């Protein structure tokens, strides 16, 4: 993609915003973002839990990319006029059964290559940030956790570096503003219907508004990427999972984010007291190909009951709280759990696809695409996230 004159970015979520920002600031290309909705960042990005930080299970391929993202967001969110706020608080992955505790210990020992000794909390500085194993007994003498039923917890992993961006749609809009300030154009209300190619090279896109010529095209259309790339005969081997979110009206104290090992139910305590209750159904083997246009915003009753029953085990006070809002987002998941970022088999056509956590990796994805177009080194290794590894 080196020396592209005109780059079309499809989609104005956090991925498209980051691509536009990096391309506009770091290359000479003319950058045009095409977004089908009337407003940017209203899809997966707006529905996200938006946690960012080292959890402890990052792969060797993604640690340097996450370091880049942490630096990027740290700088972006330091600017006084940016609307979104970063909220620290850490994350507790907690088990409430002996089997769950075993699973947590096994994960910790294999992820960090350390043996947990009986009743000792272990800390490590490898993999980007410290993560601590806490036995159920050690938990309530290590952290103040009002409202959490610590006696029900059999073991936990504490990742103090994890926090969240309180408004991920505003985050993407702030990134798009930077892109615009550096010369990028953002056109909303324009749907790309086909990626156009000739002799194995991208030539542009067809839109509801006519044809657009391009030297390079970046597919940043979230869960719509797969369908879009099909039009250029590129198979993106990703699947999807539903991301249901309930917003509970609670008056709990500030707690770290909680992830329940046995059920995949997780929470995010917001500054206004409300509690997000999400569900993570697992990775690629638990995923399927979904049509994102066919997923409504109502959390199915059975899912709602299961999520509320799960939090009753460790946050009893929240069980009967009113559900003030709800939605369902569509995650993309990849076969090996790492993102797919960069050039495809069609010359000039790149893709930005994540394994669930695109807020974390969008800055590095944007940097990688800009480095490819501009012909410079992104500053971190990229083979572990390359499209070609999945061919
Ligand atoms: C419930 C939930 C919780 C999550 N929690 C986290 C988390 O804690 N941390 C984290 O890092 N990530 C999290 N994620 C994942 C993260 O939100 C996504 O990886 C990220 O938002 C993807 O951004 P995107 O820009 O690729 O996609 P999107 O935000 O979906 O943006 C794609 C854009 O492309 C547009 N588009 C689609 N088709 C076309 C077309 N044909 N023409 C033009 N425009 C088009 C769409 O309208 C949309 O605006 C979560 C996701 C969900 C659903």
**Could you tell me if the CB of 339 is within 6 A of ligand 1?**
no
**Could you tell me if the CB of 163 is within 6 A of ligand 1?**
no
Q: Using CA positions, which residue lies closest to atom 12 of ligand 1?
A: 357
**Could you tell me if the CB of 307 is within 6 A of ligand 1?**
no
Using 70 as the pLDDT threshold, list the residues of the chain that sit under it.
Answer: 1-4, 117-127
- What DSSP assignment string belongs to 245-313? EEEEE--PPP--EEEETTT-EEEEE-TTS-EEEEE---SGGG-B---GGG--SSPPHHHHHHHHHHHHH
User: What is the best residue among 359, 360, 363 to mutate for testing ligand 1's pocket, by most ligand atoms within 8 Å of CB?
Assistant: 359
Residue carrying the six token digits 């899809």: 43
Say how far apart CA 344 and CA 158 lie, in whole Å.
Answer: 38
SS3 62: coil
Say how far apart CA 247 and CA 331 lie, in whole Å.
Answer: 19
**Could you tell me if the CB of 55 is within 6 A of ligand 1?**
no
For the CA atoms of 113, 139, 87, 306, the dihedral, rounded to the nearest 10 degrees, stands at 90
SS3 206: strand
- What DSSP assignment string belongs to 87-141? EE--EEEEESSHHHHHHHHHHHHHHHT-PPPTT--EEE--TTS-EEEEEHHHHTT
Q: Closest by alpha carbon to 254, among 168, 163, 128, 331?
A: 163
Closest ligand 1 atom, CA of 41? Answer: 49
Distance 333 CA to ligand 1 centre (A): 12
Q: Give residue-wise pLDDT tens across range 4-35.
A: 699 999 999 999 999 999 999 999 999 999 99
Closest ligand 1 atom, CA of 220? Answer: 26
Closest ligand 1 atom, CA of 17? Answer: 25
Q: Using CA positions, which residue lies closest to atom 50 of ligand 1?
A: 48
Give bridge partners of residue 327 from the DSSP assignment.
245
pTM tops 0.85, yes or no: yes
**Could you tell me if the CB of 84 is within 6 A of ligand 1?**
no
Q: Using CA positions, which residue lies closest to atom 4 of ligand 1?
A: 48
Closest ligand 1 atom, CA of 332? Answer: 19
**pLDDT at residue number 129:** 73
Residue carrying the six token digits 């797919």: 340
**Could you tell me if the CB of 58 is within 6 A of ligand 1?**
no
Distance 281 CA to ligand 1 centre (A): 17
Closest ligand 1 atom, CA of 16? Answer: 25
Q: Closest by alpha carbon to 284, among 239, 329, 244?
A: 239
**pLDDT at residue number 180:** 98
**Could you tell me if the CB of 329 is within 6 A of ligand 1?**
yes
- Angstrom CA distances, 86 to 75, 167, 303, stand at 12, 9, 29
Answer yes or no: are the C-beta atoms of 247 and 324 closer than 8 Å. yes
Closest ligand 1 atom, CA of 223? Answer: 30
Answer yes or no: are the C-beta atoms of 51 and 203 closer than 8 Å. no
Helix (H) or strand (E) holding 86: strand 86-88
Q: Give residue-wise pLDDT tens across range 329-341.
A: 999 999 999 999 9
Map out the domains of the chain with their CATH numbers. Answer: 6-81+166-236+336-390 (3.50.50.60), 88-161+239-331 (3.30.9.10)
Say how far apart CA 210 and CA 355 lie, in whole Å.
Answer: 32
Answer yes or no: are the C-beta atoms of 93 and 54 closer than 8 Å. no
Answer yes or no: are the C-beta atoms of 21 and 27 closer than 8 Å. no
Rounded to 5 degrees, what are φ and ψ at 347? Answer: -55, 130
Q: Using CA positions, which residue lies closest to atom 22 of ligand 1?
A: 358
Distance 134 CA to ligand 1 centre (A): 33
Neighbouring residues of 148: CB distance < 8 A, sequence distance ≥ 6: 255, 258, 314, 315
**pLDDT at residue number 175:** 98
- Angstrom CA distances, 137 to 61, 131, 145, 150, stand at 35, 18, 13, 8
**pLDDT at residue number 1:** 46
Distance 293 CA to ligand 1 centre (A): 13
């Amino acid at each position: 993609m080196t020396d592209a004159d005109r780059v079309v970015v499809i989609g104005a979520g956090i991925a498209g915003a980051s691509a536009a920002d990096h391309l506009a600031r770091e290359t000479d290309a003319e950058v045009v973002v095409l977004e089908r909705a009337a407003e940017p960042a209203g899809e997966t990005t707006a529905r996200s839990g938006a946690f960012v930080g080292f959890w402890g299970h990052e792969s060797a391929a993604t640690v340097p990319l996450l370091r880049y993202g942490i630096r990027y967001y740290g700088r972006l969110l330091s600017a006084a006029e940016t609307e979104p706020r970063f909220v620290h608080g850490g994350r507790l992955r907690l088990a409430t059964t002996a089997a769950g505790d075993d699973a947590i210990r096994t994960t910790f020992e294999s992820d960090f290559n350390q043996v947990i000794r009986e009743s000792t909390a272990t800390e490590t500085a490898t993999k980007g940030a410290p993560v601590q194993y806490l036995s159920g007994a050690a938990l309530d003498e290590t952290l103040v956790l009002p409202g959490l039923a610590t006696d029900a917890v059999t073991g936990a992993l504490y990742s103090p570096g994890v926090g969240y961006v309180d408004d991920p749609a505003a985050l993407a809009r702030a990134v798009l503003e930077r892109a615009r300030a550096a010369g990028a154009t953002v056109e909303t209300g324009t749907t790309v219907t086909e990626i156009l190619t000739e002799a194995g090279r991208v030539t542009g896109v067809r839109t509801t508004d006519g044809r657009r010529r391009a030297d390079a095209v970046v597919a940043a259309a979230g869960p719509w990427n797969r369908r879009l790339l099909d039009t250029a005969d590129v198979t993106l081997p990703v699947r999807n999972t539903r991301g249901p979110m309930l917003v509970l009206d609670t008056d709990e104290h500030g707690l770290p984010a909680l992830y329940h090992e046995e059920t995949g139910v997780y929470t995010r305590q917001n500054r206004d007291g409300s509690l997000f209750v999400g569900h993570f159904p697992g990775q690629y083997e638990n995923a399927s190909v979904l049509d994102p246009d066919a997923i409504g915003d109502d959390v199915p009753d059975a899912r709602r009951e299961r999520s509320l029953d799960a939090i009753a085990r460790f946050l009893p006070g929240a069980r009967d709280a009113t559900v003030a809002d709800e939605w369902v987002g569509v995650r993309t998941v990849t076969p090996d759990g790492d993102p797919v970022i960069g050039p495809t088999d069609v010359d000039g056509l790149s893709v930005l696809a994540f394994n669930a956590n695109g807020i974390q990796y969008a800055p590095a994805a944007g940097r990688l695409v800009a480095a490819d177009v501009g012909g410079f080194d992104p500053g971190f290794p990229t083979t572990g996230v390359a499209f070609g590894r999945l061919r």
